[in-house]
Structure 1
């Protein structure tokens, strides 16, 4: 399944209007904001239809899975928007992560905890906000809001250390383009960033660079460290491959169209995260060229002349200043 899925759920007193563009969306936030009520309304409509007084309009079928028989329930669901309410512990199990890979559904998970076994985007972590009643006769309107934003810019030009998520091509690139006075360190994986920040004695002027498309599970802990240490900044492009594709070095019309609306092209059945799709796209587009891309080892072509300059140009100005890019 791909594309943006629109959902409208309404009763006499409540109205939810939402849109989902990726295969995994996380709903978080305080109690009594309407998350569980939304799931209950969807389940009630599925079981009893319009007789419940609930109106549901969605581009695809909506289903709810819960309890110990979640696997059996999931096996019978296809091309649907699947909701999972808070308290279902199976979402944190590797068995669940394996089960949803290769499925043609979108998943909306209500949870207060981060789910480390799932590669979800920072931009797909939402809360639910009430806009109040427009009049006494109208229902309370609810909509989603992003909790963390997209973190594609920095607040400061200052940095003495770059902490890069991976040890592969992305790290190789930033380590090569960093000036001598800026230390570039690999975290050897997104899951290690929080621990490295905890043990870092000097937390001033650190820039973390990670793949936003799959960093969602780690965001809460890192965000809390950032709140206590204003010298830590975060730059979260979709992925390093996305940076290269967005830079225009390939001069490919299809890539331009895909980047304008990625959800129209990224099939949830084939790609558990957008990061994997962008890696596949870049690898395929460069396979028979001198820019042949490998995630494990950076092709030196990406560090040469105009190609290097174009990739650096796509970075936010503050990060370019950190890297002393003119």
Structure 2
């Protein structure tokens, strides 16, 4: 499955309306915010579509998966939107991540826990709030709102240390930039180590660079550990490969079209996260050129003056230039 899919779930008194654009969507929030009610309504419709007051409108079939037979239930579902309510412990397991990785469904998971086995985006974590859009005597309208953004800075960022989540090409690029400008650069060798590093290092000016497309499971605790600290900023682009393509270095109309609306190109059965998709596209579009890209080892062409500066300019108010002595 790919593309954006609008879902409307309603009764005469209650209505949910939202749009899904990736294969993994997380719904968080406190009790009594309507999360379980949404799943209950979908379950009622699926189990008894003609005998329930619930109406579900979507271009894809919706299902609820739950309980100890979740694997059997999933095996019979294809090209659908699957809802899973909190309390189903299987969502935290590697087994669950493995099972859904090669499916062509979209998944909407209600959970207050982080799910480190799943590569979900910081931009696809939502809460539910009730809107007054329909008035107090009419339908109660529930809407999704995004909980986390992709950066945590308002003013100019001038770090002393950059940390990246892994040691691949992105780290190699920023390590080179840091060496040129007298800054430190460290690889965390895994996104879960970002939190531990920030918890130990509280004096330096730190810029965290991580793949926003798969950092969703870490964002809450990272934001908690840096709360109130003015010396830490997060920069969470979709991925380093996305940064390269967004800088328009390739001058490629195919890439421009993809970046303008990625949902229409990312096939969920092939790419568990958008980070994997952008990596595949960059490798494909630069094959047999001087910009040929490899994930593990950075092509030195990306460190040349004009190309390097094009990438850095896309970071807006983040300043990595050499500091005056």
With the shorter chain as reference, the TM-score category is: over 0.9
Closer, same or farther: CA 73–20 of 1 in aligned 2, 3 Å: same
Structure 1 runs of 4+ with >4 Å offset: none
Cα distance, 1:152–1:201 mapped onto 2, change above 3 Å = closer
**Aligned partners of 2:163 and 2:187 also within 8 Å:** yes
Match of 1:291? 291
8 Å contact from structure 1 (residues 154, 233) kept in 2 = no
Query: RMSD across aligned C-alpha pairs, in angstroms?
Result: 1.5
Instruction: Look up the match of 2:199.
Output: 198
Contact map agreement 1:214 1:275 (CA 8 A) in 2? yes
Distance 1:152 1:75 in 2: 40
Pairwise CA distance, 1:306: 1.8
Deviation of 1:324 (Å): 4.7
Deviations 1:271-290 (A, max 9, x none): 00000000000011111111
Q: Secondary structure at the match of 2:150?
A: coil
* 8 Å Cα contact 2:181/2:322 also seen in 1: no
Q: Which residue number in structure 1 is paired with residue 233 of structure 2?
A: 233
The Cα of 1:154 is off from its aligned counterpart by 5.3
Aligned: 1:211 with 2:207: no
| Long gaps (5+) in structure 1 | none
SS in 2 for 1:118: coil
TM-score normalised by length of structure 2:
0.96
Map residues 2-17 of structure 1 onto 2, 5 A cutoff.
Answer: 2-17=2-17
Residue 169 (structure 1) aligns with:
169
Q: Deviations over 1:68-115 (max 9, x none)?
A: 000000000011010000000000111100000110000000000000
Q: Once the 2 structures are TM-superposed, how far is the Cα of residue 133 of structure 1 from its aligned partner?
A: 6.0
Aligned to 1:272: 272
Cα 1:246–1:153, aligned 2, differ >3 Å: closer, same or farther?
Answer: farther
Aligned residues of 1:155 and 1:233 also touching (Cα < 8 A): no
| Conserved? CA contact 1:26–1:108, under 8 Å | yes
5+ unaligned residues in a row in structure 2: which ranges?
none
- Aligned residue pairs total 322
Q: For 2:300 and 2:118, locate their aligned partners in 1 and report how far apart those are by CA, in whole Å.
A: 32
Instruction: Give the secondary-structure state (helix, strand or coil) at the position aligned to 1:72.
Output: helix
Contact 1:159 1:206 in 2 (8 A): yes
The worse-fitting range, judged by mean Cα deviation, of 49-58 and 89-98 is: 49-58
1:73 is paired with a residue of what secondary structure?
helix
Partner SS for 2:224: helix
